[in-house]
Amino acid sequence: MSKLVRIALPVLTCLMGVSILVRADQPTTAPAGVISEKSREFWCFRPVTNPSLPVVQDASWCRNPVDRFVLSKLEEQHLRPAPPATKIELVRRVYFDVTGLPPSPVQIKAFVSDPAPDAYERLVDQLLASPHFGERAAQHWLDVVRYAETEGFEYDRHLPDAWRYRDYVVSSFNNDKPFDRFVTEQIAGDEIAPGNPECETAAIFHRLGPVRRNAGNPEVAASRNEVLTERTDIIGAAFLGLTIGCARCHDHKFDPILQKDYYRLQAYLSATEEHDILLAPDEEKKEWQRKTLAINNKIKALQARAKSATGSDATRLKEEIETLEDSLPANPATIPGIGNDFAHRAEIHVLHRGDWEKKLDLVGPRPPTVLVSDDLPELAADDPAPRTQLARWLTDPHNPLTPRVIVNRLWQDHFGRGIVNTANNFGINGERPTHPELLDFLANQLLQNGWRLKPLHRLILLSNAYRQSSRSTIEQSAMRIDPEDRLLWRFPKRRLSAEEIRDAMLAATGQLNPKIGGPSVMLPVDPELTQQLYKPSQWQVSSNLEDQHRRSIYLIAKRNLRLPFMDSFDQPALTTSCSRRESSTHAPQALELLNGRLANELALALAARLEQDCGHDRAQIIEKAYQLTLGRSPTDKERGLAAQFLKDQPLKEFALALFNLNGFLYVQ
C-alpha cells in the first residue's frame, strides 16, 4: 500500500466535520494524555444519583413518580400538561408503541367499553406480555447495533443465519432478560457459556458491522484493523453512548477520551475472530462439508488456471468460477458467531493517526480512564476471557453510563425523544438531559429491578405524562416557551415508522402473518433493483405468499438492496448506528403510497375484505374501513364525504385513500 494510502486510510472514521468547532475555543481535555478532574465532573461521568421526588404544586395530577419529575419541570416554566387523551386515542397509541401494530376493532371496543378503573393498567400488562412487544422493542435495538444480514461492500455476502441474532433480541425482550445479562451475552456470550446456542447467538453482535472482503492481494493487517475498528466503535455508541471512535486518531477533541483509551478498549477484542458454528446434526454437517469441499476444490483449481489465463480464456474461467460458486450448497443451520483465537491474538498498539502501520505504545485491555482510577492496571495480555471482563465493567452497577444510556433509549421509544436528545452521544457535543433527575431516577429503578426493563416500560406507560392528549389547551404560549415540546406539555404525536406503516396496512387487510421468528423473507422487487446487485442471484424471493405477509422486522436486512418503500419512510441505511429515526416528509412518500405496488396491492386486499365483511352496505363499509385503518369511527362529515365518493368510485380507491390519510400515518 502506498504512502498516500497509508496516510489516508486511518482517517477512516475519525476526522469529521468538526473544523468549525475546533476553531472555536471549546473546552478540551488538554494537556494531551491526561484527564482533568474537571472532565471527570462532566455530568454523564458522575455517579448516578438517587434524587428525591420533586415537590410540585399540582400533586393531584401525578399518578406515579415519573409525573412528579415531568410536572416539576413544566411548572418551572409556568406550563401545564395537556388533558388526558381519549380512550380511543390512548388505545391506538399504546398498541403501536408497545407492539408496533394497530389494535383490531375488537380490541379497541374491548378497551373503550371497559369501565373498570384499572382497564388501562390491564391493557398495558397484556401488551407487555404479548410476543409482539419483543418485536417492537427489538427493532429499536437493531437500529442501534446497525443490524444487517449481509456484509456490505462489493460482495455484500450473506452472513449464514444472521437472523438468529434478531430472534435472540426479540426473545430476550419478550422474556425480560435482565439488561446486564443481555449486554454480557452479546459482548461475551461465547466466553461465558461456550456451546450454549443462545449465548453464542448473542455474540453475533460482533459480526454485524460491514466487512470489506476483496479478491486480489489482501492486506491482512489492514483488514483486521478495519474489522476491529467497526467492533470497537459500536460498543462505544451502543452501550456507553459515547463517540469513542473519535479517539482513534488522536485524543478525543471534546470528550475526555484518550487515544490510548480507544486502543485499550479495542484490546479486549484482540483475540476475537469469526467462528461459524454449525448446528446441523453430524451427518448433515458431513454431507455439507463434503459437497462444499468438492466444489471449493474445483474453484481453487480454476482460480489457479485463471491466474495465467488471458483474454477470452480468462473471461470464460471467471464465468465458470461464478457458476460453481452459485452451486455451493446452502449453509446448514449455523450461528455466525465469534470465538477467541489466542494463538493468533493481534498485539494492540496505539496507532499514530490510526494508521495500522505506525505502531506506538503496546496497550492492554482497560476501561476508559475517565471512568476508572488513574492507577488501574491494564488486564493481563493473556487473560483467558477478556470480553467477559469488559462485560463485567460495562454492567457494573457503579458504571454511570450503561444504565443511563439504556433508560434514555427506553424513554425515547415511548416519547419520541430521549431525556438526552442525542441517545448515542452523552458527551460534550451531545445535548444535556432535559430532566437529569428523572434520568437518574429511572437508572436507579433499573438497578433496583435487577436490570429488568419491563417494569420501567410499565412505569412510563402508566404515567399521566404518557396518558395526556397530544392536543394542548395552552399551545400558543407553550410553543413560545418550548416549541419542541421537550418538557412534554403535550404528548408528542408521531408518524409511523416504515415498518409500522407496512405492518398496519397488512393488518388492515387481515393478511398479516403474525408468525414470530425464523429465516428472513425476500419480497418480490423490480428486476431493476436486483440487476443493480453485484450478484443478482443473491435475491431469492420467498415463494410462500404467507411469508411475504410477515411483519417487516422479518424482511431481510440487506445492505446493498433496501426496499424503496422502506427507504422512503426513513428506514436507516443499515451501515452506521442509528440512535433515532428521522421522520421526513417528501413527495416520493406520496408517490409510494399512491402508485406503489405495495400500497395498491394492499388497498385491493382491504377492499376485498370490506366487501366480504360488509357486503354492499356502504355505511357499514365506511365504518369498518375507518376502524381498520384509523382505529376510530368516522365523523358525520367524513361519513358523508366517503359515501359521496363511493357512489361512483371503486372501493379499492377508497381503501387506498385511507392508507394515505394523516389519521392513518400518525399516532396521536
Please say whether the beta carbons of 424 and 144 come within 8 A. Answer: yes
In whole angstroms, what is the distance from residue 420 CA to residue 433 CA? Answer: 4
Give the DSSP letter of residue 384: S
Among 417, 467, 550, 624, binds other proteins (CB under 8 A): 417
Q: How far is the CB of 181 from other proteins (least distance, A)?
A: 27
- Least CB distance to other proteins at residue 18 (A): 6
Q: Report the site for other proteins in 365-384 (rule: CB under 8 A).
A: none
Closest CA to 506 of 601, 614, 612: 601
- Selected range binding other proteins among 59-67, 68-76, 98-106, 589-597, rule: CB under 8 A: 589-597
- Of positions 32, 221, 376, 591, contacts other proteins by CB under 8 A: 591
For residue 271, give the 3-state DSSP assignment. Answer: coil
Residues 491-510 that bind other proteins (CB under 8 A): 495
The CB-of-346 to other proteins minimum distance in angstroms stands at 20
Out of 50, 57, 584, 620, the only residue in the binding site for other proteins (CB under 8 A) is 584
Whole-number Å distance between alpha carbons of 163 and 152: 16
Q: Which is nearer to other proteins, 297 or 644 (CB)?
A: 644
Site string for other proteins, 466-485 (x = CB under 8 A): -----x------------x-
Which range binds other proteins by CB under 8 A, 58-66, 173-181, 549-557, 638-646?
638-646
| Residue 5 contacts other proteins per CB under 8 A | yes
Nearer to other proteins, 164 or 624 (CB): 624
Burial-class residue 341 by CB neighbours within 10 Å (0-12, 13-18, 19+): middle
Does the protein bind other proteins through residue 39 (CB under 8 A)?
A: no
Residue 119 to residue 110: CA distance in whole angstroms: 9
Interacting residue with other proteins among 327, 448, 583, 620 (CB under 8 A): 583
The C-alpha atoms of residue 356 and residue 317 are separated, in whole angstroms, by 36
Q: Hey, what long-range contacts does 7-12 have (CB within 8 A, 24 or more apart)?
A: 7/353, 7/355, 9/222, 9/355, 9/356, 10/248, 10/249, 10/351, 10/353, 10/354, 10/355, 10/356, 11/249, 11/353, 11/354, 12/226, 12/229, 12/248, 12/354
Binders of other proteins among residues 202 to 221 (CB under 8 A) are 210, 212, 214-217, 219
How many residues sit in the footprint of other proteins (CB under 8 A)?
Answer: 114
Could you tell me the smallest distance in angstroms from the CB atom of residue 656 to other proteins? 6
Rounded CA gap, 533 and 94, in Å?
Answer: 39
Q: Is the peptide bond before 65 cis (omega within 30 degrees of 0)?
A: no
CA atoms of 97 and 225, how far apart (whole Å) = 40
Site string for other proteins, 141-160 (x = CB under 8 A): --x--------xxx-x----
Q: Which window, 64-72, 441-449, 454-462, 645-653, contacts other proteins (CB under 8 A)?
A: 645-653
Nearest approach in angstroms of CB 83 to other proteins is 14
- Minimum CB separation from other proteins for residue 389, in Å? 27
SS3 per residue for 283-340: HHHHHHHHHHHHHHHHHHHHHHHHHHCCHHHHHHHHHHHHHHHHCCCCCCCEEEEEEE
Separation CA 128–CA 395 (nearest Å):
24
| Positions in 9-38 near other proteins (CB under 8 A) | 9, 11-13, 15-21, 23-26
Give every CB contact of residue 508 below 8 A, 6+ residues apart in sequence: 102, 602, 606, 609, 628, 629, 658, 659
Our CB check for other proteins shows the closer of 275 and 493 to be 493
Residues 258-317 that bind other proteins (CB under 8 A): 308-311, 314-315
Cell of 187: 459482548
CB of 414 to other proteins, least distance (A): 16
Of 277-285, 328-336, 586-594, 610-618, which segment contacts other proteins by CB under 8 A?
586-594
For other proteins, what does the binding mask look like between residues 525 and 564, x meaning CB under 8 A?
A: -x-x--xxxx-x----------------------xxxx-x
Name the residue nearer to other proteins (CB basis): 199 or 655: 655
Longest dimension (CA), the chain: 85
For other proteins, the closer CB: 200 or 226: 226
